[in-house]
Amino acid sequence: MMTEHDLVSVTVTYNPELLPLCAQLSALSASCTKLIVDNGSNALCIKHLAALPLKYPNLHLIFNSDNLGLATAINQGVRAAHEINPHASLLLLLDQDTEPQPGSIETLIHAFAQLKTEGQCVGAVGPLLRDVETGLTHGFHQCTHWRWRRVYPHPDAKKNPIPCANLNGSGTLMSIDIFLELGGLDESLFIDHVDTEWSFRLLSRQLGLWGIPHAVFLHRMGQRSTRFWFFGWRLWPTRSPQRHYFLFRNAVWLMRRNYVPTVWKCWAVLKLAVTCIMHTLFGPQRNAQLKCMLSGIREQPKIHAEKLSLHNNTSNNHETK
């Protein structure tokens, strides 16, 4: 039976707020191997982080002198965690401001094990993310025919796992062996859509994704979130111009890959257009936002990304553990 003793967690930090990070560490059991990879935080943050292993058992730290990007830092952390605890079978990825609610990590582990027992080819499971500022949930992504949509489980509904077309990276639970076998995350993406690419790569290997609605993690989307009404309350994340550069660049890069679903590509074009209109007409830093968005669209994919696409295409028939 899988327990948190079989678990390693990897959290990437960059000038983190200490309160939510400590809440996250408190939610992880003492038997869980915990890795924090810091991506070039300031001296004060580094001082606070360096003191955390005195309070939280089985916590290990890696300090990068520069911001190497989310994907690179996660890969770095997973490799280190695997060396520290080579017997661990499960991997939990976390953002620095994600707070698992009581019992939710155990719920994810149980759901993962139950799906495996039922004979499912499990790529990853993920929690229901609840926005800290608004209290609204982010729902789960599903693809039905030619429609890309979010589903929002009703609180009174049955708590069955929900098949997903994509999972948010923070809170994702998976097999550490599969992560290492597939080469980890695509480091050329740096940040934004790193989890999207990973989800599609798992699905292309016939490894399923499931949302677990009764595992709830508090999560902050963007620098802040705005609540708006569109056939129900929705969340609109506010991002800096630099984040929009990566968001637009990486979405365009993913559109070039043959394992990315066509329906997602169509949906992404529409969402990018709406994002551009909203931020350049109504948001702050309008000129900077537009400049970064256009710059991201114009940048050509790196060779590493193209090789990853080709590798995935030629290895789809490879049997995964």
CATH tag, 1-97: 3.90.550.10
Give the span between the Cα atoms of 172 and 122, in whole angstroms: 12
For the chain, strand residue ranges (E) read 7-13, 33-39, 59-64, 90-95, 99-100, 122-131, 140-144, 147-151, 162-164, 173-175, 208-219, 224-229, 233-238
Treating both helix axes as pointing N-terminal to C-terminal, what angle do 262-281 and 241-255 enclose, rounded to 10 degrees? Answer: 160
Treating both helix axes as pointing N-terminal to C-terminal, what angle do 194-204 and 70-84 enclose, rounded to 10 degrees? Answer: 60
Give the span between the Cα atoms of 100 and 23, in whole angstroms: 8
- 36 close to 11: Cβ distance less than 8 angstroms: yes
Q: How many CB atoms lie within 10 A of CB 141?
A: 21
Instruction: State residue 307's pLDDT score.
Output: 42
17: nearest Cα among 71, 96, 79: 96
222: nearest Cα among 247, 189, 256: 247
Angle at 185 between CA 305 and CA 138, to 5 degrees: 110
- 209 close to 203: Cβ distance less than 8 angstroms: yes
The encoded tokens of residue 114 equal 């139950």
Give pairs for 51-55: CB < 8 Å, separation 24+: 52/22, 52/25, 55/22, 55/25
Residues ≥6 apart with Cβ < 8 Å to 40? 14, 64, 65, 66, 67, 68
Q: How many CB atoms lie within 10 A of CB 112?
A: 23
Instruction: State residue 89's pLDDT score.
Output: 97
One digit per residue, the tens of pLDDT, for the chain of length 321 reads: 777 889 999 999 999 999 999 999 999 999 999 999 999 999 999 999 999 999 999 999 999 999 999 999 999 999 999 999 999 999 999 999 999 999 999 999 999 999 999 999 999 999 999 988 788 888 999 997 788 999 988 767 778 999 999 999 999 999 999 999 999 999 999 999 999 999 999 999 999 999 999 999 999 765 555 555 444 545 556 788 999 999 999 999 999 999 999 999 999 999 999 999 988 887 788 899 999 999 999 998 864 444 443 334 333 333 333
Give the span between the Cα atoms of 47 and 124, in whole angstroms: 34
Instruction: State residue 146's pLDDT score.
Output: 83
Instruction: State residue 235's pLDDT score.
Output: 58
- 20 close to 12: Cβ distance less than 8 angstroms: no
The encoded tokens of residue 219 equal 């999560």
Strand partners, 219: 131
Residue carrying the six token digits 């902050």: 220
- 227 close to 235: Cβ distance less than 8 angstroms: yes
The encoded tokens of residue 231 equal 């056939």
- 81 close to 33: Cβ distance less than 8 angstroms: yes
Instruction: State residue 284's pLDDT score.
Output: 82
Q: Domain extents for the chain?
A: 1-97, 226-314
Strand partners, 95: 12
Instruction: State residue 225's pLDDT score.
Output: 52
Q: How many CB atoms lie within 10 A of CB 66?
A: 7
Q: Which letter does DSSP use for residue 137 in this model?
A: B
Instruction: State residue 41's pLDDT score.
Output: 98
Can you give the pTM of this predicted structure? 0.88
The encoded tokens of residue 9 equal 């967690």
Instruction: State residue 131's pLDDT score.
Output: 87
Give the span between the Cα atoms of 311 and 309, in whole angstroms: 5
